């Protein structure tokens, strides 16, 4: 057996891990500013959670899910996305009575897709879900939160926001009928789209087949079938996004294929990652909780790919520079060990190393890009002092061992 990661998975090494951590930390911090609380669901669920919400006719269910039978004969699935598990958690824990509910999450998802740049079989997402807010302001807050995170990551200028309205069930039904009637007259549909025409015609609008794209370009537009209620809802979303200064373009072919989706659908898209252009996507799903056997609880949310956002970042986040503790002699090692322990407990990043003379320890300090070296030898111990050398300038000062933290405060990461 080759000692390699399974195809479609990979090791996230420290250099990339810094960008990874930046995406996750920025997302969670910003979500908390908006009042969202962290939720964590199991990595695997009963398969029915996804069959009932993603639809048995979808590619995710039929081709991409990692489904297995456990020792009890239960069908379990590694979660392919985060929204359905969070909605399941709302139902399982009887949380609907506490609405509105505001959650954010982060973690791995699993899809058996063809691996390529920005797409993996074990992928990572951050996401937010808002339950119990039926009006447009919920959609606006969710989109504004996503834009805020992208702005803080320095990526807002690298993406464009595309939005569309799916309308309410009445509007959706009218559009679906018109779309099916149009597509049935088209002889050039791909075999896959002909199959979707019977099961889930809205997904044809997402087809990557060039022939299908040409046909879709002339298809009826969703916004032409919005009733007055749906049109007013969409108008307010657009107005309030304008109030926030969040720019957008309306994409009439942007849809969601599942019946529980309604009203706003949106995606933040980049042209910098080739085919994997969507970095954050979401929408309103007022029928999802009910599809899982819960109450009629409206919801809206989004998920973002951590790998794709990491790829978009221009540079690694700046790493903190440690303080190098450089003891010489057995007595100095004991003192340095105690001082290192105390400084770390006060929030300093300190590297002590594990052995070697002063020359080797200084080489290690330079390799770690340490900001200063705290040198302790026999002379320093006798005087109760330490020599602090600035490794950028070479300047040195002598400080009392008991007051070391105060002298090092300006070097705190």
- Find all residues with CB under 8 Å of 38, minimum gap 6, and list them: 28, 103, 104, 105
Q: How far apart are CA 5 and CA 1, in angstroms?
A: 11
Phi, then psi, of 304 in degrees rounded to 5: -130, 145
Given its phi and psi angles, is residue 53 left (phi above 0), alpha (psi -120 to 50 degrees) or beta?
Answer: alpha
- Using DSSP's 3-state secondary structure scheme, residue 167 falls into coil
pLDDT tens, N- to C-terminus, the chain (413 residues): 678 988 988 999 988 889 999 999 999 999 999 999 999 999 999 999 988 776 544 555 557 889 999 999 999 999 999 999 999 999 999 999 999 999 999 999 999 888 777 688 999 999 999 999 999 999 999 999 999 999 999 999 999 999 999 999 899 889 888 988 888 877 788 888 888 887 778 878 877 788 888 888 888 888 889 999 999 999 999 999 999 999 999 998 888 867 788 999 999 999 988 776 899 999 999 999 999 999 999 999 999 999 999 999 987 777 889 999 999 988 999 999 999 999 999 999 999 988 888 899 999 999 999 999 999 998 889 899 999 999 999 999 999 988 899 989 988 87
Q: How many CB atoms lie within 10 A of CB 119?
A: 18
Q: How many CB atoms lie within 10 A of CB 241?
A: 22
pLDDT for the residue numbered 62: 54
> What is the sign of the dihedral through the CA atoms of 34, 129, 250 and 137?
negative
| CA-based nearest residue to 129, from 34, 255, 237, 43 | 34
> What's the Cα-to-Cα distance from 147 to each of 233, 238, 255, rounded to whole Å?
20, 14, 20
Taking every pair of Cα atoms in the chain, the longest distance, rounded to a whole number of angstroms, is 94
Phi, then psi, of 369 in degrees rounded to 5: 60, 40
Q: How far apart are CA 39 and CA 301, in angstroms?
A: 14
Q: How far apart are CA 100 and CA 108, in angstroms?
A: 26
Give me the domains of the chain, ranges plus CATH numbers.
14-168+227-312 (3.30.930.10), 323-411 (3.40.50.800)
Residue reference for tokens 């199991």: 42
Q: How far apart are CA 263 and CA 254, in angstroms?
A: 12
Q: How far apart are CA 309 and CA 268, in angstroms?
A: 11
């Amino acid at each position: 057996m080759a000692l390699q990661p399974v195809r479609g998975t990979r090791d996230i090494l420290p250099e990339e891990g810094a960008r990874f951590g930046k995406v996750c930390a920025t997302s969670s911090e910003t979500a908390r500013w908006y009042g969202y609380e962290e939720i964590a669901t199991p990595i695997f669920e009963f398969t029915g959670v996804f069959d009932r919400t993603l639809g048995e006719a979808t590619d995710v269910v039929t081709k991409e899910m990692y489904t297995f039978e456990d020792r009890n004969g239960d069908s379990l699935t590694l979660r392919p996305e985060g929204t359905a598990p969070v909605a399941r958690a709302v139902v399982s824990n009887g949380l609907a009575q506490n609405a509105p509910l505001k959650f954010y999450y982060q973690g791995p998802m699993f899809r058996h897709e063809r691996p390529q740049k920005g797409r993996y079989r074990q992928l990572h997402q951050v996401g937010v879900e808002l339950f119990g807010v039926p009006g447009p302001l919920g959609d606006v807050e969710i989109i504004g939160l996503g834009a805020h995170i992208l702005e803080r990551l320095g990526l807002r200028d690298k993406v464009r926001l595309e939005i569309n309205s799916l309308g309410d069930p009445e509007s959706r039904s009218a559009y679906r009928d018109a779309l099916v009637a149009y597509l049935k007259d088209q002889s050039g549909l791909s075999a896959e789209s002909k199959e979707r025409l019977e099961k889930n015609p809205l997904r044809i609008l997402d087809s990557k087949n060039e022939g299908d794209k040409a046909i879709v370009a002339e298809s009826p537009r969703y916004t032409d079938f919005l009733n007055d209620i749906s049109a007013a809802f969409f108008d307010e979303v657009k107005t309030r996004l304008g109030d926030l200064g969040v720019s957008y373009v309306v994409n009439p072919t942007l849809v969601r294929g599942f019946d529980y989706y309604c009203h706003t659908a949106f995606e933040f898209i980049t042209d910098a990652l080739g085919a994997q252009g969507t970095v954050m996507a979401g929408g309103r799903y007022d029928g999802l909780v009910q599809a899982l056997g819960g109450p009629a609880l409206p919801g809206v949310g989004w998920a973002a790919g951590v790998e794709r956002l990491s790829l978009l970042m221009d540079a690694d986040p700046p790493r903190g520079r440690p303080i190098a503790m450089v003891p010489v002699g057995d007595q100095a090692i004991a003192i340095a060990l105690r001082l290192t322990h105390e400084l770390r407990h006060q929030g300093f990043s300190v590297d002590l190393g594990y052995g070697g003379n002063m020359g080797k320890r200084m080489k290690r300090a330079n390799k770690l890009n340490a900001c200063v070296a705290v040198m302790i030898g026999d002379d320093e111990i006798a005087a109760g002092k330490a020599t602090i050398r600035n490794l950028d300038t070479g300047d040195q000062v002598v400080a009392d061992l008991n007051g070391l933290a105060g002298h090092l405060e300006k070097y705190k990461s």
